[in-house]
Amino acid sequence: MIVEFGSFALVLAFCLSLAQACLSGIGRWRRSSILAGAGEGAALAAFLAVALAFAALMHAFITSDFSVANVAANSHTEKPLLYKIAGTWGSHEGSMLLWCLALTGFGSAIAGFGRNLPKGLKSLGVMTQGVLGTVFLGYTVLASNPFVRLARIPVEGHSLNPLLQDPALAVHPPFLYAGYVGLSVVFSLAVAALIEGRVDAAWARWVRPWTLAAWSLLTIGIMMGSFWAYYELGWGGWWFWDPVENASFMPWLIATALLHSAVVTEKRGALPGWTVFLAISAFTFSMLGAFLVRSGVLTSVHAFAVDPTRGALLLGILALTAGSAFSLFAWRAPVLAPGGVFAPISRESALVMNNILLATATVMVLLGTLFPLIREAVSGTPISVGAPYFNLIFLPLMAVMIVLLPAGPLLSWKRADAKGVYQRLIFAALSGVGIALLVYALVSPRKALASAGLGLAVWLIFGALTEVAERTRFLRVSTGEFWRRVTGLPRGAWGMTLAHLGLGIFILGACFETGWRVEAAETLPIGGQLKVGAYELTLDRVAAVDGPNFDAERGLITARKAGIDICRPSPERRFYPAGGQTTSEVAICTLGLNHLYVVLGERRMGPTAPVWLVRAYWNPLAILIFLGPLTMALGGFLSLSDRRLRLAVGQRTAKTS
């Protein structure tokens, strides 16, 4: 019964989204605040209806209602509760429902929180959000309905892929989807601004918090996915340039570019066309990601929920929505007033450079992801484009960006004094070069690239701190005055500093981990020893474990350094009878900022007794790889909480409306 109720709520949500689009559109055309208000009401109602449908599906998963095809295919009675709940969005159908939940949620957020928006812009934004909701809900209802019942009810479900039964993975889709779909708000506001024919500082100020929110959530989602790959796939890598990873990375890169160009539009009124273009592109890349992940056109480690016919439908949706938005852009962009002028050396220029480099990186990732398809279609020969290609092009692009980055915030708007900036950054520059040379000379084995990367990270971190020191006049005023300045800095400024520091922290970890990781592998009998870096691992015992939905062997290992016990990792090798898969559950000892990463491999027959393949890695500073993005996201949220951002919007729109 609850399932039918959910199914009904889903269809209702589709109708409400359609009503939202029509009412808001007509409301704007007729300049009727009653119709526009009705459109906003419909937006809120559509969100509630999708939320009900979502709750109904979750209920079906929690109660293991195998009469629902989706539950039977993706759940199992013996699965722990967390994974039953996560199963709601673990399949194609469920994840589309989550997508729709976020989409209608953001639609009602514009309707609810957009009090300060000019009326016309708001109505058109709600309308566009309604159109998107109609299209995606229509797709969910007709082609990917999660509430389809089975005629013959199975006794037991198929279970979720065991690799996906993991806490970080279970919670990362909601973050990712909130991030992807959060960009739809920016898309809708861009479309609305194009129809209105006005892109000004007030518009950019409205776009920025939504971009910030989406970007921060996306950063956390990608970081969690990467962390999952790090400890679940069992070989310690954290980024594979896999198509699915690329699908999430492209919207992130564009959103990052948008964050920076929106600042220029907000503060200086420059680059309005480009900012609108990025705003449309960001959500387009989100939709492209949704299509790539689900269509099965690309193979991936994370391949999930693949279905070619639905892929074609999603491609149609992508072509329709993005196509019309870009056509509108081509038609209306010339109407937009060109913004303020600036000199070659100015903060505007620095932000344009940032945008050129990020846009190139996005094009490169897109091309690398799709090129195997293009090449096969053209010449018939399949080829692979893997990590070596992406690293070869992406790393130099980012290196150039990081060399330029610390100067950006120190340059003044319009026309800057290059010499002053050079004098202020000389300390950071010398520190970066010094550390790079020192590490290259002293750390064994010698790694030129990793040392250079470390130097860049130090330059970036010191550069960001220099900027704070400049703003607070550190060491040049009394301590009291300094504290007054520190506490007086707007949160937006701290947010930027944190985000840039986070990037530096990430690079620090990434360089150390890739440059100086140590690995060892040996087949060990009970009592056997393996040396990895400074640590000695002893396989004390292997125990049989009877898990809730798996059987496992657990290796009980003691790690010692110079004879002293450090930690006791206990990695597992699990067998899931429901799907017949074997996975390895990695054990990670966190020692300071470093990871000792231990994997239990297969059991083999030794000469006298059984032996186990044990692999261990010493991953120096590995935590920073994940701490960095977290700091970046924190910066985003901090900036979002800046009161000035919200107050200023209110003041500005009060004047215009």
Partner 1 sequence: MKRVLVILAAVFSLAAAADPSERLSDPVLEARARAVFSEVRCLVCQNESIDDSTADLAADLRKLVREEIKAGRTDAQVKAYLVSRYGEFVLLQPTLSLANAALWGVPLGVIVLGFALFLLTLRKRGGEMDLTAAEAERLAQLSQDQAQ
Shortest Å distance, C-beta 264 to partner 1? 13
- Strand pairing class (518-524; 610-619): antiparallel
Helices 272-295 and 201-232 cross at an angle (nearest 10°) of: 30
Shortest Å distance, C-beta 615 to partner 1? 6
Shortest Å distance, C-beta 54 to partner 1? 30
Amino acid at 149: R
For residues 23 and 576, what is the distance between their CA atoms, to the nearest angstrom?
Answer: 52
Name the E strands within 445-593: 518-524, 529-532, 535-546, 551-561, 564-567, 572-576, 581-585, 587-591
Q: End-to-end CA distance of the chain: give it in Å, rounded.
A: 49
Shortest Å distance, C-beta 623 to partner 1? 20
- Strand pairing class (572-576; 587-591): unpaired
Residues 6+ apart with CB under 8 A from 411: 345, 346, 347, 349, 350, 421
Shortest Å distance, C-beta 219 to partner 1? 24
Residues 6+ apart with CB under 8 A from 22: 39, 130
Shortest Å distance, C-beta 366 to partner 1? 9
Residue among 222 and 614 whose Cβ is closer to partner 1: 614
For residues 537 and 528, what is the distance between their CA atoms, to the nearest angstrom?
Answer: 8
Residue among 206 and 241 whose Cβ is closer to partner 1: 241
Residue among 72 and 358 whose Cβ is closer to partner 1: 358
Shortest Å distance, C-beta 356 to partner 1? 4
Burial of 291 (0-12, 13-18, 19+ CB in 10 A): buried
Question: What sign has the CA pseudo-torsion 544, 545, 546, 547?
Answer: negative
Shortest Å distance, C-beta 618 to partner 1? 10
For residues 50 and 137, what is the distance between their CA atoms, to the nearest angstrom?
Answer: 9
Residue among 365 and 410 whose Cβ is closer to partner 1: 365
Residue among 491 and 517 whose Cβ is closer to partner 1: 517
Residue among 145 and 349 whose Cβ is closer to partner 1: 349
Residue among 357 and 410 whose Cβ is closer to partner 1: 357
> Which tokens belong to 388?
């070596």
Residue among 210 and 618 whose Cβ is closer to partner 1: 618
For residues 386 and 298, what is the distance between their CA atoms, to the nearest angstrom?
Answer: 12
Shortest Å distance, C-beta 17 to partner 1? 35
Coil, helix or strand for 635?
A: helix
For residues 4 and 440, what is the distance between their CA atoms, to the nearest angstrom?
Answer: 66
Shortest Å distance, C-beta 520 to partner 1? 6
Shortest Å distance, C-beta 562 to partner 1? 18
**Residues in the chain, overall count:** 657
Residue among 147 and 274 whose Cβ is closer to partner 1: 274
Shortest Å distance, C-beta 531 to partner 1? 9
> Which tokens belong to 39?
């459109």
Shortest Å distance, C-beta 314 to partner 1? 20
Per CB under 8 A, residues contacting partner 1 are 235-237, 240, 242-243, 299-301, 303, 338, 341-344, 349, 352-353, 356-357, 359-360, 363-364, 367-368, 371, 374-375, 378-379, 381-389, 392-393, 397, 415, 444-445, 516-523, 601, 613, 615
Residue among 23 and 357 whose Cβ is closer to partner 1: 357
Name the E strands within 340-483: none
Residue among 53 and 352 whose Cβ is closer to partner 1: 352
Residue among 213 and 257 whose Cβ is closer to partner 1: 257
Residue among 374 and 647 whose Cβ is closer to partner 1: 374
Q: Helix, strand, coil % (nearest 5) of the chain?
A: 65, 10, 20
In the 8-state DSSP scheme, what is residue 593?
T
Q: Which residue, 300, 275, 307, is CA-closest to 198?
A: 275
Residue among 375 and 561 whose Cβ is closer to partner 1: 375
Instruction: Give the DSSP per-residue string, 173-207.
Output: HHHHHHHHHHHHHHHHHHHHHHHHT---HHHHHHH
For residues 612 and 428, what is the distance between their CA atoms, to the nearest angstrom?
Answer: 49
CA dihedral 338, 343, 344, 345 (to 10 degrees): -130
In the 8-state DSSP scheme, what is residue 538?
E
Shortest Å distance, C-beta 546 to partner 1? 25
